[in-house]
Every structure is written in structure tokens, then in C-alpha cells.
Amino acid sequence: MIALKGGIAAVIVTLAVVGNTAAMEGDMFLWPGRGGDGDYENGIKAARAGDWQLSLHYLQRSVGRDPQDADALTLLALSHRKLGRVDRAMRFFDAALAIEPDHRLALFHAGSAYLAGGNLLKAREHETTLTVLCPKGCPELGALKRAIADFKERGPGS
């Protein structure tokens, strides 16, 4: 379970990994909600609906108000990635992980983005970090392990 700031409720988001990584559609992840940040909540709703451009719009506003919010930065990064802006996405994943190095969703999605770019070594680094964070396993670790296995089975550039 993700550590939620201030006992904030969680919203379930279904996320699919695209690109050269394995499709994770159907895997469920808890995404922390914000009772007081309508832009963040609307960004989550747009992401759940697959409207990554609208999600990006709301999350840019949310991050503009709180640039230290690792959850919002991670979802903003994912929105950029889904829109094909991988370099920009990686900057936001890196920012989220600089703030919260044990952010499991940021580690998973950044690892998946590295696989999409063919960088197995960096994806394995994120897998190693998740293994330390989740010694008994967690959804993010399981999903990244499956994505890495699929990547290795298909080979880079497939």
C-alpha cells in the first residue's frame, strides 16, 4: 500500500503500460486522492478515462501549486508518457523520485518507460529498488517484473 499523506483517501486507477512494455491493463493500483485539490482529482478522472491530454492539463495546474507533490508529479509524468513525450515524462519521474525515492508507482512507471525506450538496465535498477521496498512483493513490483520478462522475451525494439 502506498503511504498516503495525511490519511488521504485512495482512488483506484486502472493503468495500461504501452510501448515496448507488456500491457498491464487490468492491473489495479491505488492512487492517492486529494480531497482539497480539484485539479489533482480531475487529473485522476481524466487518466482513468484515458484522456491523457486533459489529465496533463489538470496535473500541470496541480504541480504548479505544489511542485513537491510526488504523487502529482508521477501522474503528470505518466500523462506525458502516454502522449509520447518520453523525455519530458522522465524528467517528471526523476523529480518525483528525487522528492520521494521510495514512491512505488513512480518506480514502476519510470521502469516501464525505460523499457519502452529499450533501457533494460535502468528498468532493472527500479526493479531492484522495488524488491527492497517490497520484500514480500507488491503490485508495482509484480507488474514491473512481468514487463521486464515480456521485454526480454520479445527483445529490444519489438
Distance CA 104, CA 27 (A): 15
Tell me the pLDDT tens digit for each residue of 19-34: 333 333 323 344 656 6
Which letter does DSSP use for residue 35 in this model? Answer: S
Q: Rounded to two decimals, what is the model's pTM?
A: 0.78
Distance CA 59, CA 57 (A): 6
Tell me the pLDDT tens digit for each residue of 75-100: 999 999 999 999 999 999 999 999 99
Domain boundaries, the chain: 5-154
CB-CB contact of 23 with 17 (8 Å): yes
Distance CA 44, CA 52 (A): 10
The residue to which cell 521486464 is assigned: 148
Collect all residues with Cβ–Cβ distance below 8 Å to 133 and sequence separation of at least 6: 102, 104, 107, 141
Q: Which CATH superfamily is domain 5-154 in?
A: Tetratricopeptide repeat domain (1.25.40.10)
The residue among 57, 68, 75 whose CA lies nearest residue 11 is 75
Q: What is the CB neighbour count within 10 angstroms for residue 57?
A: 15
